[in-house]
Chains A and B, each alone.
Chain A
Amino acid sequence: MAEQQPVSTNGRAGGDDASNGVLEQLTDDQLRWIYQIMRRIRRFEETAEEAFRAAKMRGALHFYIGEEATATGVCAALDDGDFITSTHRGHGHCIAKGARMDKMMAELFGRTTGYCGGKGGSMHIADIELGNLGANGIVGAGIPIATGAALGSKLRKDGKVTVAFFGDGAGPTGAFHEGVNVAATMNLPAVFVCENNQYGMATHADFANAAPIHNRGPAYGIPSASIDGNDIFEVYATAREAIDRARRGEGPTLIESRTYRHKGHTVLDQKNYRTKEEIAEWVARDPIERFVRAVNESERLDEDDFRAIDGQIEREIEHAVAFAEASPWPTVDVIERDVYVE
């Protein structure tokens, strides 16, 4: 059984832009990658929201804006062949795992060129080749699947690690307990990353969970950490340690990443369960702005670097929307296709 100890920089004050030396360990290319991924996530969702409000797409859109540092920091510490499972709020995980925004946008538009040929939509984007085992419309359901992927890696001895992303809303589910407990008993190469964005729809995490989720680490005999999820450097350092540990065969880790969704649960939000002040307080802790401030202070990248990345992303976004709009709708003859491998 794993030794119980907290990992990483547990307990640092939120809002602190200092990276505690983590920034210095990252290369300029890694810093550019982090900025690019976080900005892609934000611009993708801002653009998707516009398209939704213009009635160009339908269904449900769950926004990740404000939480970008968690997906980005964790995926920055993963290798290309590693696996993730995602959630209904999954755009950020997809992009951070390397998904193409044009195929994602086309999927949101319900077109044949989308990741799922229009059969999945926002909540079911997967790219098995990239190691993204799927966003998921059922809260908590990705956790046992991640445990299964980690079991597969252990049996195949392929050296891969699986990260399960899930929200505070998954804390109360049975799938959480079964998935984490089995991973711990089998000492599997898995990392369980709880994105505590404070609310499951209008239900506060503290109401839904009898005690903080990170407290459960000792209950399963695995290390756990509670981190500032808006601090990309703390996320990265914590994930790095947990992922390395899993890859060494030392078993799973539970990370609770405290963050906040700036937007409502979906485009349709009751807006009656949190105050303007609370939202403003968290927007002031915006993970992208904090990253930029820290990098600027370190003088590692300059304005031109950021501007170049921004410009590139605007071109990608423009292309993604044009690609989605120009793509054909599926024809009805495919309704019963791909239910089974023929």
Chain B
Amino acid sequence: MAVTTPQAPAPDTATREIFMSEALREAIDEEMTRDPAVFVVGEEVGVWGGAYAVTQGLLEKWGPDRIVDTPIAEAAIAGLGIGAALTGSRPVAEFMYSDFMGIAMDQIVNQAAKNRYMFGGKAKLPLTYRAPFGAGTGNAAQHTQSLEAWFAHVPGLKVITASTPYDAKGLLKSAIREDNVVIMFEHKAIYAMRGHVPEGEYLVPIGVADVKREGDDVSVITYARQTHHALEAAEQLAAEGISVEVVDIRSLYPLDTDTILRSVRKTHRAVVLYEAVRFGGFGAEIASQIQELAFDDLDAPVLRVGAAHAPVPFSEPLEQASFPDTAQVVEAIRQSLQGLY
């Protein structure tokens, strides 16, 4: 995929165009330079360089005491992060695929998320989990899920995801500096997307949404790869005189409700777009907040666009049809405008 980031940094800033995977690597590398407590742990993060090449070259640069390969043991990886974080390190623990987090669910949900609270606020877990997610890669049902809603539901976890290399680098750096447990979901289909990042250091704050395109008629609220489908839909509809605003939430928890509401109060219509199974997905939380807090501003019901109620199928035409594409987003926007719901 060769999409260019829609978010250009300030014009007076020198930039480079890099891949999403490089942006993530730069974030890790810079934070490892900044803080000797930061280390990377996970399956194939060292010699192999990460299943999606995010940590490529880091073992050679930092050695095995900072880039720690593990056996296939997701519960242990999650626990390694917790134990090291509780005792003074700042781990960046990678799950090769977010689907594998099921094996580590107790460590993430019952341990990492709850330690600080259960211990009366006296524990600190500066811990980042990274996890590739999302469909479109032909990896079938156990390597393609979008399970972010599971984690956004658990108090004690912060959940972030990026649509551009710029956001990916800035968000991951913020996550690593957090004294909380942050899960960064990285969409597999956009690791090879290129985008501009500044030459110098910068951070993207957690909990702040970004309006990726301004518009007046309909708000599409989305995140990660689906942001690009929303932007393509907006571009197509602009030719017809329809003005679409695209809000990339970037952070599921904490959620920047203010930016979402500001957009909806302007456009009076909202389409919530996400790649997870539509039923019970995170978009339901966004839709619910909009109707609770901006009901009087709405001219149409809040619509949700999400994936089919099925595991992700393998065969290409099936897989591609199982999650939202640009045409579905266009259709949903038209429905919102025409009242065809």
Assess whether B123 is in contact with A337, with CB atoms less than 8 Å apart.
no
Residues of B within 8 A of A83 (CB): 83, 87
Check if A288 is an interface residue, CB within 8 A of chain B. no
- Which residues of B lie under 8 Å from residue A115 when comparing CB positions? 119-120, 122
Considering only residues 91-105 of chain B, those with a C-beta below 8 Å from chain A are: 91, 103
User: Which residue on A lies nearest to B36, using beta carbons?
Assistant: A156
For B70, the chain A residues whose CB sits under 8 A away are 182
Query: Which residues 42-87 of B sit at the A interface, judged by CB distance below 8 A?
Result: 65-66, 68, 70-71, 73-76, 78-87
- Stretch touching chain B among A43-51, A119-127, A295-303, A305-313: A119-127
B30 interface residue (CB < 8 Å to A): no
Given A339-B156, A341-B124, does the pair A119, B118 have CB atoms closer than 8 Å? yes
Interface status of B11 (Cβ within 8 A of chain A) = no
Is B110 on the interface with A (CB-CB < 8 A)?
yes
Chain B CB within 10 Å — which of A141, A148, A155, A175 has the most? Answer: A148
Instruction: Tell me how far the C-beta of B112 lies from the nearest C-beta in chain A, rounded to whole angstroms.
Output: 9
> B285 contacts the other chain (Cβ, under 8 Å)?
no
Indicate the size class of the contact surface on chain B: 35 or more
Contact B119 A144 (CB under 8 A): no
Contact B73 A338 (CB under 8 A): no
Query: Known: A134-B115, A149-B83, A339-B156. Is A144-B89 also a contact (CB below 8 A)?
Result: no
Chain A residues, CB < 8 A from B41: 151
| Residue in A120, A148, A336 whose CB lies within 8 Å of B82 | A148
- A114 → chain B closest CB, angstroms: 7
> Are A338 and B86 within 8 A (Cβ)?
no
Please give, as numbers and ranges, the residues of chain B lying within 8 Å of A133 by CB-CB distance.
83, 86-87
**What is the CA–CA distance of A115 and B118 in the complex, to the nearest angstrom?**
10
The verdict on A152 contacting B84 (CB below 8 Å), with A338-B117, A341-B116 known, is yes
A340 contacts chain B at the CB level, 8 A cutoff: yes
Q: A119-B118, A151-B41, A179-B79 are in contact. Are A145 and B73 (CB under 8 A)?
A: no
Question: What residues of chain A lie closer than 8 Å to B138, measured between beta carbons?
Answer: none
Are B119 and A182 neighbours in the complex by a CB distance under 8 Å?
no
State the main secondary structure of chain B at its contact with A.
mixed
Q: A118 contacts which chain B residues (CB < 8 A)?
A: 120
Judged by a CB distance under 8 angstroms, whether B88 is at the interface is yes
Q: Determine the distance from Cα of A236 to Cα of B103 in the docked complex, in whole angstroms.
A: 36
Q: How far is the CB of A105 from chain B (nearest CB, A)?
A: 15
Residues of A within 8 A of B91 (CB): 148
**Which B residues are CB-close (under 8 A) to A20?**
none
Interface positions of A from 319 to 342, Cβ below 8 Å from B: 336-341
The residue of chain A having its C-beta at the shortest distance from the C-beta of B158 within the complex is A340
* Contact A178-B84, Cβ < 8 Å, known A124-B118, A151-B41, A339-B117: no
Contact call B83/A146, Cβ cutoff below 8 A:
yes
Q: B185 near A: Cβ within 8 Å? A: no
Interface readout for B102-133 with A: 1 if CB under 8 Å, 0 if not?
01001100110001111111111000000000
Which interface residue of A85, A144, A336 has the most chain B CB atoms within 10 A?
Answer: A144
Q: State whether A141 touches B89 (Cβ < 8 A).
A: no
B118 touches A148 (CB 8 A): no
Name B84's closest neighbour in chain A (CB-CB): A152
Is A137 an interface residue, CB under 8 A from the partner?
yes
Residues of chain A contacted by B179 (CB below 8 angstroms): 341
CA of A337 to CA of B122 in the docked complex: distance in angstroms? 12
Inter-chain contact B156/A340, CB cutoff 8 Å: yes
Across the interface, do A156 and B89 meet the contact criterion of CB distance under 8 Å? yes
Q: Which of B65, B76, B89, B115 has the most CB of A within 10 A?
A: B76
**Chain A residues in contact with chain B, CB under 8 A?**
83, 85, 114-120, 124, 126-129, 133-134, 136-138, 141, 143-156, 158, 160, 162, 174-175, 178-179, 181-182, 185-186, 336-341
Interface residues of B (CB under 8 A from A): 37, 39, 41, 65-66, 68, 70-71, 73-76, 78-89, 91, 103, 106-107, 110-111, 115-124, 155-156, 158, 178-180
Q: Which 5 A-B pairs have the closest CB atoms?
A: A148-B83, A144-B79, A338-B121, A116-B120, A152-B84
